[in-house]
């Protein structure tokens, strides 16, 4: 991560925005988790966020500005059956983000989360129509979100329009978190 951050800084002269968007899940009841499953999820979902944020924040501190946006999940806030390991990793990202928002604010760096709900992706497209309909029925807006809707929220948080927002989570889930 340190070499990646150095390469980006050398290529562009500065690093203004970091978007951490890594995620994987091994869905199963906790009692059936295999040795190493939780470590694998934490490595991808949480440790990668920590390591890249650490590497990039050093450059942002020197330039006294920056925006860090971490993708979490509605599941990190609500939990979900069969996803205890995933939920724990995504919930930890939210706590991590709140902490670094405080740590880095004095250097002009903002840190926020975007927590998508069910979004149309290759993974959701592989679900049967019946499953997608059942999911949509539980969402107040009665549909899955789009990647563009999530990207627009990330772009907003990266922009100067969000210059007074830090330590927050923007929930992009069609109202699912409220129901």
Question: Whole-model pTM?
Answer: 0.92
- Domain-located, residue 65: yes
Q: In this structure, what CATH number is given to the domain that contains residue 114? A: 3.40.50.720
- Domain-located, residue 120: yes
Most confident of 33-37, 58-62, 135-139: 58-62
66-86 average pLDDT score = 89
- The structural domain count of the chain equals 1
pLDDT for residue 179: 54
Is 147 a residue whose pLDDT tops 60?
Answer: yes
Mean pLDDT of all residues belonging to the chain = 93
Burial of 173 (0-12, 13-18, 19+ CB in 10 A): buried
- Domain-located, residue 9: yes
- Domain-located, residue 178: no
Domain containing 100 equals: 2-173
> Known catalytic residues?
86
- Domain-located, residue 38: yes
pLDDT for residue 80: 80
The pLDDT tens digits for 106-139 are: 999 999 999 999 899 877 787 888 988 988 998 9
* CA distances in angstroms from 25 to 5, 52, 63, 90, 173, listed in the order given: 26, 20, 36, 10, 19
- Domain-located, residue 179: no
Q: What is the C-alpha separation between 44 and 89, in angstroms, rounded?
A: 9
């Amino acid at each position: 991560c340190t070499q990646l951050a150095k390469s980006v800084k050398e290529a562009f002269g500065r690093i203004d925005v970091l978007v951490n968007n890594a995620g994987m899940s091994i869905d199963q009841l906790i009692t059936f988790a295999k040795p190493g499953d939780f470590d694998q999820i934490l490595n991808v979902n949480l440790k990668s966020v920590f390591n890249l944020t650490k590497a990039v924040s050093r450059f942002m501190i020197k330039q006294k500005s920056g925006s860090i946006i971490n993708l979490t999940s509605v599941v990190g806030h609500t939990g979900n059956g069969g996803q205890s390991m995933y939920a724990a990793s995504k919930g930890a990202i939210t706590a991590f983000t709140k902490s670094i928002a405080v740590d880095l604010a004095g250097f002009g760096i903002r840190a926020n989360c975007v927590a998508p709900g069910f979004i149309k992706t290759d993974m959701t497209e592989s679900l049967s129509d019946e499953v997608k309909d059942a999911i949509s029925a539980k969402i107040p807006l009665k549909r899955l979100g789009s990647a563009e809707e999530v990207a627009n929220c990330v772009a907003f948080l990266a922009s100067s329009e969000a210059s007074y927002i830090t330590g927050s989570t923007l929930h992009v889930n069609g109202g699912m978190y409220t129901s």
